Amino acid sequence: MADAGQVLILAGRFDPTCDLVVEELNRRAVPVFRADMAEFPLRLTLSASLSGDRWHGTLTNDRRRLDLASVRAVYYRRPTRPKFPEQMSLAARKVAETEARWGFGGLLTALPCRWLPPPGAAADAEYKPLQLRVAAEAGLVVPRTLITNDPDAARDFAESTGGRLVYKPFFHVRGTVHGQTAAVYASMVNLDELPHPDIATTAHLFQEWVPKAYEVRLTAIGGRTFAAEIHAGSDAGHVDWRSDYDSHTYKVCEPPPGVAAGVSRVLERLGLPYGAFDFVVTPEGDWRFLEVNPSGQYGFIEQATGLPITAAICDYLEGNGQ
């Protein structure tokens, strides 16, 4: 491996968070090769052979060539899917996409280097039922939660929590409605809306409503934590701050020692070096775990507070830290 080593960045072309990392690595004179999976195979060429116990070869686009043996770390920032020739039949495209995933993707995971985050561990950690269980095991306080497709069970759960529930999607739900970008956020569910027949159509996640003084986005990377209070200035933002970024104010804070220790245990048990954690802080000052995103955005927090998260990420990619 080369003395310095390169950082391979796999991300979509438009990714402001990724841009922060690229700029910082460039400032540090760390060699960077940035690509998107969507470039393969039309604009990204792979050639690799196994020699001894390592894969040797190159990854080439119209701008640069990467020596695979020189890769010291991979920053995996939600790359988009491979694109194939338009004239390919649907059947051939499905085969090609499968082969790209297991061949190209498999080769990358075989590189003996750091990943931020490791794709397999990150994919597992996206399962909310898993992360909620792990958080509880790690000593974090988790709101009472129900997963069901039984409308009557949802009503019974609402009654047991005092009638105020929050519905949350299990995964990011985004799309286009009437030409406008739309997303599904957490929303309040009142007792008089239950039972609702739509609940029977698929799995639903409900949590008890936790009174909020404010929320906290805690970003952990390489054994370091960066926490910021999020004070929502609108009703929608008070339920789910992601629905109204413009209304927020931010303040740097320090997590209680027990919370910081729990965060560390969650990342260890999930096999992650990085996590963007969301907490509710009650009027009494108690922290309640909501979720952790293994590749969550952090740029808006850094911009608002000056917390050096990008620098910590680049430290990790360079080989410093845990």
In this structure, the number of other CB atoms found within 10 A of the CB of residue 123 comes to 11
Domain chopping of the chain, boundaries: 6-116, 123-129+132-141+211-318, 144-208
pLDDT of residue 185: 76
Q: Which two tokens stand for residue 131?
A: 């992360």
CATH 3.40.50 fits 6-116, yes or no: yes
**Fold of the CATH domain 123-129+132-141+211-318:** D-amino Acid Aminotransferase; Chain A, domain 1 (3.30.470)
Angle CA 252–144–159, to nearest 5: 125
Bridge-based pairing of strands 54-60 and 32-35 is: unpaired
pLDDT of residue 322: 60
Using CA atoms, how far apart are residues 78 and 167, in angstroms rounded to an integer? 26
**DSSP string over 272-287:** -SEEEEEEEE-TT--E
Q: What is the DSSP letter of 87?
A: T
pLDDT of residue 256: 97
Q: What is the pTM of this model?
A: 0.88
pLDDT of residue 3: 45
Using CA atoms, how far apart are residues 22 and 129, in angstroms rounded to an integer? 34
245: left (phi over 0), alpha (psi -120 to 50) or beta: alpha
CATH level 2 (architecture), domain 144-208: 2-Layer Sandwich (3.30)
Q: Which two tokens stand for residue 235?
A: 């009703």
Query: What is the pLDDT tens value at each position of the chain, 322 positions in all?
Result: 334 689 999 998 888 889 999 999 999 999 999 999 999 999 999 999 998 888 999 999 988 999 999 999 999 988 888 899 889 999 999 999 999 999 999 999 999 999 999 989 999 999 999 999 999 999 999 999 999 999 999 999 999 998 888 898 888 765 555 565 556 677 888 888 889 999 999 999 999 999 999 999 999 998 999 999 999 877 777 777 676 777 789 999 999 999 999 999 999 999 999 999 999 999 999 999 999 999 888 999 999 999 999 999 999 999 875 6
